[in-house]
Amino acid sequence: MAKDYYKLLGAEKNASQDDLKKAFRKLAHQYHPDKTGGDDSKFKEINEAYQVLGDEQKRAKYDQYGSAAFDGSQGGGGGFSGGFDFSGFQNAGGFEDLGEMFGDMFGGGSRRGRQRGGDIQVDVDLSFHDAVFGIEKEVTLTKPFTCERCGGTAAEPGSKMKTCTGCSGKGVKVSATRTMFGTFQTKSTCGDCDGQGEQPEKMCTNCSGSGVKKEKKTFQVSIPSGVDDGATLRIRGAGEAVKGGESGDLFIRLHVKTDARFEREGSTIFSIAKIGFTQAALGATIEVDTVDGLEKLEIPAGTQTGTEFRIRGKGIPNGRSRGDHAVMVELVTPTKLSREQKQMLTELDLKS
């Protein structure tokens, strides 16, 4: 699944890093899922594009090899396809930037400097039937989980805490920049202790002090009834874990396979039933294929081709109710008639 990251950002191939950043900010602002008119999947795509193009080294790699270079395609396991290279995207600046960016824009700023694990997107294929009724699906992810030994604290259980050597216990690092206007001091959160001022004396042996461990695990995901093709489910906190911050989210994009028997529009399922001339003229009880199995349908005498009948409550679940199954009858004109049948029809001499 090659993606054109430049196109996603609406930028030219020779755009400057600054222009890419501007384009990304504008689109991210527009599609942010917390805003009205936002679009989760679009937002994800833009973010993915910028995480690559916004980094000069990754951009060069992308220019040479395309998006495949960033596509793990690790596959494997229960309906999970098109995997991301999780490590490749981890904290590459996208969401972290956004937290700051929206803080700046809306005056919030509360998320500034706080770590957030990366989001993950997976694709799940569903049959038409499963999309109607919902199903439990297995999703296999290889991603950083919170370390089970230290619970994400990075300290070996039982280890004492000591003053952080990186910041002498202040929790912040101060750097001075000399310019022609004077000396500016910049304070930033200490990365060695995440601003806590303390470090464990002994780091966790399971995660080497990172607080997270990359593992492959399989989840059960409940796909609700009535979902449509292209819908995205969001599971908060099921994305990548990160030390000292909240985990990212898991986005599950659903792909519903078509079923030759059915068409779907909103909460209504449509199908076609072929009937014979005698059935149409005299009326009949026919059997119609629905997602609930075969259903009986009364065709009244004198039914014209193209007439639509409704079977109530056999469509797509919509909240607590269900839509209808609409059947359009198609009159089939006989092509192989015996001499006797031909004789009888000639005698009937039916005309419109």
Residue from 124, 132, 204, 238 in contact with Zn ion (CB under 5 A): 204
Which has the closest alpha carbon to 128: 260, 312, 288, 271? Answer: 260
Question: Considering beta carbons, is residue 140 or 159 the nearer one to Zn ion?
Answer: 159
CA–CA distances in Å: residue 187 to residues 116, 164, 167: 20, 16, 11
Question: Considering beta carbons, is residue 144 or 315 the nearer one to Zn ion?
Answer: 144
- What residues between 105 and 144 interact with Zn ion by CB under 5 A? none
Distance between CA atoms of 342 and 336, rounded to whole angstroms? 10
Take residue 3 and report the two structure tokens written for it. Answer: 């993606």
Position 241 contacts Zn ion (CB under 5 A): no
The angle that helices 17-31 and 40-53 make with each other, rounded to 10 degrees, is: 170
Position 269 contacts Zn ion (CB under 5 A): no
Distance between CA atoms of 299 and 126, rounded to whole angstroms? 33
Position 164 contacts Zn ion (CB under 5 A): yes
Take residue 151 and report the two structure tokens written for it. Answer: 């619970």
Segment lying near Zn ion (by CB under 5 A), choices 95-103, 107-115, 205-213, 344-352: 205-213
Position 63 contacts Zn ion (CB under 5 A): no
What φ, ψ does residue 115 adopt, rounded to 5°?
Answer: -80, 145
As measured in angstroms, the least distance from the Cβ of 199 to Zn ion is 7
Segment lying near Zn ion (by CB under 5 A), choices 106-114, 190-198, 242-250, 306-314: 190-198
Which has the closest alpha carbon to 245: 165, 170, 189? Answer: 189
Position 155 contacts Zn ion (CB under 5 A): no
The answer to whether 112 and 99 are in contact (CB under 8 A) is yes
Query: What's the burial of 351, exposed, middle or buried (CB within 10 Å: 0-12/13-18/19+)?
Result: exposed
- What residues between 69 and 108 interact with Zn ion by CB under 5 A? none
Residue from 149, 214, 255, 310 in contact with Zn ion (CB under 5 A): 149
Position 202 contacts Zn ion (CB under 5 A): no
Note the Cα 220 to chain centre separation in Å: 16
Residue from 192, 229, 246, 295 in contact with Zn ion (CB under 5 A): 192
Position 206 contacts Zn ion (CB under 5 A): yes
Per DSSP, helices labelled H in 107-240 are 128-133
As measured in angstroms, the least distance from the Cβ of 215 to Zn ion is 12
Take residue 270 and report the two structure tokens written for it. Answer: 């449509």
Residue from 77, 79, 103, 166 in contact with Zn ion (CB under 5 A): 166
Question: Considering beta carbons, is residue 23 or 167 the nearer one to Zn ion?
Answer: 167
Residues interacting with Zn ion, by CB under 5 A?
147, 149-150, 164, 166-167, 190, 192-193, 204, 206-207
